[in-house]
Every structure is written in structure tokens, then in C-alpha cells.
Structure 1
Amino acid sequence: MTRQTVTEIRPQVRQYGELTSLEIELAKQSDSLLILPVGACEQHGDGLPVSTDSIRAEHVATAVAEELAGRAFVIPSIDYGVSPHHGNLPGTITLDPRTFVDIVTTVAGQLSDSGFTRILVITGHGGNMAALGVAQQVLLGTHPNLTFAYSPVSALATEATAILPRTEVSGHSGESETSQMLAIDDRLVDSPRLTAGATALDDLLPRARLSRTKSPASAVTFDQYSENGVLGDPRTATATAGDDILGEIVAKLVAYSREMLRL
């Protein structure tokens, strides 16, 4: 029996998991970009869902793929991340960093072995960045012809974040993340339960305060910042600010993805 072929991919499909095997073969032949969203399942204060980082990564990845109109597809996400620093607060499920690296390199390596040459990882969880750097180095050794890039979400929105009202200490479950979630789906935010966490350096104990220095870097568990594990005051978040933040993130990733597709 002769295998069927297709000459085009259904134009509405953006998710790898919704492609047929025949369409995946065509996507490989077209040197498509694959986008892998990675997130986390971890505490996000009293008002945000524990899958906040996965939700944001998936949203951004899908928006980027939409902008690239059939040149990129979103592969099934990795919804657990490297989150031991959140483990003392309710809701957190973390992977060992070595397990996370193994999952990423296994997925990317198999896709490379099958013929794909470009993978962009979008992580909604900053705690995954170090492990993604390790994964990148592993893949350089095992799959040197694979172009493997990774990027955070919030950190790309430098302009929109600069004008966002923020407290001196800000970050996890704070003004930016909450604004993004309000823009994506405000039904997922328990707004009456939003409360401020750590907001000023002088309010932190010495070890927690030292950990806010970017270099040299140290770490503490998030319960040492505040009882609710929040950095900043999410009560000031708005969906409008979230739209601006997400728009800047998507625009930068689309521009980078276009460069990857030119390789």
C-alpha cells in the first residue's frame, strides 16, 4: 500500500499535536520552527493559579505561531518546572533540575533526529532558565546541527514593564504577572484574594535581601520573602498593562523567530 501525501498543511492549525503525521512530514520539509512552551506548577500567592507560568508560556507561544502563519508550530508543553524554591508553599509540584534537563533534551533530541532543525523554548518560569542553559549545552554536544534557543516571557517586556507601577521589590506573582493573567483570562484570577507580599528591601531579612542581588547570585525559598510567596503588590495590576506587556513580548519573539527561519 502506497502512503498518502499532502501538499499543504491545513491553514488553521498552529498546534503540533493537531497535525497529522503527513502534515508533520511536510512541516519538516518546509523547515518549520517548533516552539516549546515550558512552565511550572507552583504557588502564585493567594489570587493566581498554580499554572500561571504554563498558561502565560502557552499563550505567548500560540500568539507567536499565529503571527508566523504556518511557518511555526507549538509542540505540547512541559507544565512542570524547576521550582524547589517554592516548595514550602501550597500547590507546588517541582521537577529535579536534572529531570527537567533530561525531558527537554529528550524531546528536542528526538525532534532533531526526526528532521526538525529549529526549536525555540519559551519559559514562563524564570526558575527554568539555568536548566535550559544546561540543556542547550547538552544539545550542542549531541545535536550540533540543531538551532536551539530559549527565552523567558516577562523579562522581554522592558519598555512596558518600565512604565508599570511597581514596588521596590517586585516579581513573582506581582504586578507584571498578574497583569498578564488579567489580560489572558481574568476569570483565572481570584482578584478579591490578591494581596501584597514583599515590597521593600528594608523589610526583608538579611539572607532574603542578599538574594535580590543579581550577581553574585544566591537563593532562598520564597516563604522567606513573604508569607504568601509574592514579590510586589498585584492589587495594582490591570488587563491593559498586561496587553502591553504581552504585546511587547510577542513582537520581540516574532522578530527573533523570523531570524531563526532565515537560517
Structure 2
Amino acid sequence: MSGHVLGELTTEDVAAADFRIAILPVGAVEQHGPHLSVLTDARIAERFAQLLAERLGGTALLCPLLPYGLSEHHAAFAGTVTLRPATFISLVGDIVDSLAAQGFDKVVVVNGHGGNIEALSLVARDQRVRNRVRVGSLMWAKLAHDVCAEGTAGAAYGHACENETSLAMVLAPELLRPDRVRAPEGARIDVPHAMPPRALVDTAYAFDELTVDGVWGDPRAAGVERGERILSTALARAEEYCRALAEEPPPAG
């Protein structure tokens, strides 16, 4: 039994511990093209959070995974299950409320899905004011953005692509169907300044408007070595952030 995994502790164990940070992994259940499971975002978030908690040791309490997220933009593809924005914000907010009531004033959300980012930012802003809790939301793709940008097959990437597929090879290989990795079927549109990952204009596109097969990038360029570089970079930066966060005073009243 690990001393930092909430699901393995009794109420007495938690009460007796001296945790500084709570870690909450959050994902999504959505299509990831023909070659990755619909649980990819959730599994990556969960395993990244486990590794981060292990690095932080007894200072961090690892909460159970919240697997569902905001995936309405993938709803045209089979297997996608989404929450409404208000539901997702309330769910995460309620979890943080519970942690705040037990004395936590630092919560790190390990997010596995880009579609959750804006909503998690709203949760963080609300919690700072309402509960005086500092909520940090981090995601591997942003933490390792420079590594992700290196050697991509094209300008378009970001979903079931060479980067996410590479990371899945390292953190969740059981979710990958290697025999189904193939050339992407192509983008449907190309709007100037609005295409991920370098969009300058925030436009709400559904994924079936963007791609034929639900892939944004080229998974054929994926590899374990690439995944390990992404993971090691993101983990190191996440640990550095969390250790600094743990030493911060709580938000001012």
C-alpha cells in the first residue's frame, strides 16, 4: 500500500498524514482515431499523476481519477461520452470544496485533455476567491510544448498524433492498436490563424469539421523514445512547479 494514494488509505490514515498538496487526475472519454482507445486521455492523466505523486513523496495526496471531461467537439465519433461544461465545472469544484474543508489549500489538477483547459481555469479562479485554495492545472502537452513541436510530421498536430501516440506507448501501451496506425485521412479545412496547436484565434470547431478520421497529426511518426522525452520533460517541470507551490502561502483573504 502506498502512503499517498487516497483510495488505499483509511480515514485515520488520511487524518494522521501531513500532506501539502492534493493531486487530482482528470481526463476524458472520447475518440482517438482508429488506433487509440477512447480512454487514452484519462489513462495518461492517471498514470502521469501517479508518477508525479511518487516523485513528491509524502507531501502529496493522490486522489482517484475523474475520467469524464468536456468532449462535445468529438461527439460525432462513436464511443465519445461528454459532460456539459456546467456539470464538469461543478464536479471538479465539488471535489476541491471537499479537499478545502479538510484543510487543503493547494490542489494540482493533472489534466489529460485539451478540451478541459478553459473550464479548469474557471475552477481555479473561483476556488482562489471562494475557498482561498490555489488550484494549479497542468497538462503534459503544455509542459513539454517545446519537445512536442520538435520533429513533427507537419504543422497540424495535437490529437491522436505523433506526440499523444508516443506518450501512450510509454504510459498506456495496452490502449494502442499498432496495426491500425496509418496515414491520417486529411484535414477538412484550413482556416488562417485558427488551426491547432498554434491557433491565434479561438474558434469552436467540432472534430468532424476538422478531420475525417478524428486524428490531428501523423501517428506514423510516433515512437517510444519520443514518448519518453515528452514524459521526462513534462514530469520534471511538473515536479518543479509542485514543489514551489507547496511552499507558497495560501491565497490572501
TM-score, normalising length from structure 2?
A: 0.91
Gaps of at least 5 residues in structure 1 are 1-9
1:5-154 equivalences under 5 Å are 12-27=2-17, 30-144=18-132, 146-154=133-141
Aligned to 2:222: 237
Report the Cα offset of residue 197 of structure 1: 2.7
- 1:190 equivalent among 174, 177, 183: 177
Asked whether the equivalents of residues 198 and 204 of structure 1 are also in contact (C-alpha less than 8 Å), the reply is: no
1:118-137 CA-partner distances (Å, limit 9, x unpaired):
10001010100010011112
Tell me which amino acid in the other structure corresponds to 1:49: S
Q: Distance in 1 between matches of 2:201 and 2:211?
A: 22
- 1:163 equivalent among 134, 142, 150: 150
Q: Distance in 2 between matches of 1:240 and 1:211?
A: 27
Which stretches of structure 1, 4 residues or longer, exceed 6 Å deviation after superposition?
none
Q: Distance in 1 between matches of 2:124 and 2:25?
A: 15
Asked whether the equivalents of residues 193 and 200 of structure 2 are also in contact (C-alpha less than 8 Å), the reply is: no
Report the Cα offset of residue 208 of structure 1: 9.0
Q: Quick check: 1:259 aligned with 2:244?
A: yes
Q: Distance in 2 between matches of 1:55 and 1:197?
A: 23
C-alpha distance 31-183 of structure 1, shift in aligned 2 (>3 A) = closer
Q: Distance in 1 between matches of 2:24 and 2:47?
A: 11
Question: Alignment RMSD, CA only?
Answer: 1.8
Q: Distance in 2 between matches of 1:245 and 1:50?
A: 21
TM-score, normalising length from structure 1?
A: 0.88
- The count of corresponding residues between Structure 1 and Structure 2 is 247
Asked whether the equivalents of residues 183 and 242 of structure 1 are also in contact (C-alpha less than 8 Å), the reply is: yes
C-alpha distance 163-211 of structure 1, shift in aligned 2 (>3 A) = closer
Report the Cα offset of residue 105 of structure 1: 0.5
Aligned to 2:251: none
| Identical counterparts, % of pairs | 32
Structure with higher Rg: it is 1
Asked whether the equivalents of residues 196 and 230 of structure 1 are also in contact (C-alpha less than 8 Å), the reply is: no
Report the Cα offset of residue 256 of structure 1: 0.5
Q: Distance in 1 between matches of 2:46 and 2:4?
A: 12
Tell me which amino acid in the other structure corresponds to 2:175: L
Report the Cα offset of residue 260 of structure 1: 1.3
C-alpha distance 185-217 of structure 1, shift in aligned 2 (>3 A) = closer
